[in-house]
């Protein structure tokens, strides 16, 4: 990590790693993460460009629109630092850094959104929710542990990967198999969700409705099957459109109707 006079060490990259946690601190519709990106990379630019005018010019260059998945932004940061270093040392004076950022941010955004928000977070949440329902007070800590072991670990790993590879996103995807892992987390989430439906009335009495319906439906198995049926109906309604807020309000209205009809 040493090219001539412009030395970027592990300490510099760790500094960027910490600053990257604030990449969305000044998030705006106009520039999205650009100021956060600049804030993260600024100490490295200061080190690479001792000339004040060039330093300001490079900083201004990075203030252009930038937006990607905030965790995988660290990969772009790593790659950008590498290219800035090559440029500053004269190894690659013509490096197209804005082009690299523009090329990386959209695919990494889609990949990160799908992996972190669309599969890892639901998985960690449903596992912890299942355990919290049964009263395990440590379930929120487990949620944080499952999620952040990936989150923080990957933030650090992709920053260094981006730096050493110079922005080879294809190699990154091959190494971490995000798509396969996302598929696995989604399937495991669905399985645990099914488990929640099957055991909910037993696990927590608060979630056991006291419906005045005679016969076997009063039995816990009947309640579980009723819960499954209700869920399938709700999924079908959701596929036809409808926001969570509207459905929650609709559900509350249905409960009021049932209460005044004497069903509960």
Partner 1 sequence: MPMFDTQVLFAIAGIAVVGGLIGLDRTAVGQFMISQPIVAGPLVGWMLGDLRAGIIIGVVLELIWVVDMPVGTFVPANSTVSAVSATAIAVLGSHGVATLPVIGFSLLLTTGMAPVTMMVDTVIRKANSRLVFVASAVSAAPSGRTLARAQLFGLMMFYLKTFVLYLLFLPAGIVAVSLFNHLPEQVHRAMSLFVQLLPFLGVALIARRLSIKNIDLFLLAGFMIAAVMVRIFHTPALIIVLLTITGGWLGTRYNGLWR
> What are the angstrom distances between the C-alpha of 133 and each of 125, 178, 208, 263?
12, 30, 12, 26
Q: Is the CB of 13 or the CB of 127 nearer to partner 1?
A: 127
Task: Name which of residues 59 to 98 contact partner 1 (CB under 8 A).
Answer: 59-60, 63, 67, 70-71
Give CA torsion, residues 60, 89, 20, 148, to 10 deg: 160
CB of 2 or CB of 207, closer to partner 1: 207
Number of residues in contact with partner 1 under rule CB under 8 A: 104
To partner 1, the closest distance from the beta carbon of 94 in angstroms equals 24
What's the closest the beta carbon of residue 4 comes to partner 1, in angstroms?
Answer: 23
Residue 173 binding partner 1, by CB under 8 A = no
CB of 109 to partner 1, least distance (A): 8
DSSP-derived 3-state class of residue 3: strand
Q: Is 191 exposed, middle or buried (0-12, 13-18, 19+ CB in 10 A)?
A: exposed
* 197 contacts partner 1 (rule: CB under 8 A): yes
Closest of 73, 72, 49 to residue 61, by C-alpha: 49
Interacting positions 114-153 with partner 1 (CB under 8 A): 117-119, 121-122, 124-137, 139-140, 143-144, 147-148, 151-152
Contact 126, 193 (CB under 8 A): yes
Binding mask 15-54 for partner 1 (x = CB under 8 A): ------xx-xxxxxxxx---xx-xx--xx--x--------
46/91 with CB nearer partner 1: 46
Q: Which stretch binds partner 1 (CB under 8 A): 8-16, 85-93, 95-103, 227-235?
A: 227-235
What is the b/e burial string over 27-50, where b = at least 16 CB atoms within 10 angstroms of the residue's CB? eeeebbbbbbbbbbbbebbebbbe
Q: Which residue's CB is nearer to partner 1, number 20 or number 165? A: 20
Q: Which tokens is 30 given? A: 């106009």
């Amino acid at each position: 990590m040493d090219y001539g006079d412009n030395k970027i060490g592990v300490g510099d990259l760790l500094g960027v790693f910490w600053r990257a946690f604030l990449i969305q601190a000044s998030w705006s519709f106009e520039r999205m993460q650009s100021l956060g990106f600049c804030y993260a990379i600024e100490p490295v630019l200061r080190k690479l460009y001792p000339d004040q005018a060039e330093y300001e010019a490079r900083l201004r260059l990075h203030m252009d629109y930038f937006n990607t998945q905030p965790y995988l932004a660290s990969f772009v940061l790593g790659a950008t630092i590498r290219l800035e270093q090559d440029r500053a040392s004269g190894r690659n004076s013509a490096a197209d850094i804005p082009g690299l950022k523009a090329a990386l941010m959209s695919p990494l955004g889609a990949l990160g959104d799908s992996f972190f928000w669309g599969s890892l977070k639901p998985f960690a949440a449903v596992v912890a929710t299942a355990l919290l329902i049964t009263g395990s007070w440590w379930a929120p800590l487990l949620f944080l542990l499952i999620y952040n072991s990936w989150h923080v670990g990957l933030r650090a790993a992709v920053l260094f990967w981006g730096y050493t590879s110079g922005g080879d996103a294809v190699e990154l995807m091959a190494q971490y198999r995000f798509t396969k892992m996302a598929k696995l987390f989604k399937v495991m989430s669905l399985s645990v969700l099914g488990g929640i439906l099957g055991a909910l009335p037993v696990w927590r009495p608060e979630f056991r409705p006291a419906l005045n319906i005679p016969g076997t439906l009063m039995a816990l198995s009947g309640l579980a099957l009723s819960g499954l049926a209700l869920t399938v109906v709700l999924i079908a309604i959701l596929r036809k459109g409808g926001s969570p807020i509207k459905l929650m309000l609709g559900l509350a209205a249905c409960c009021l109707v049932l209460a005044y009809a004497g069903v509960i």
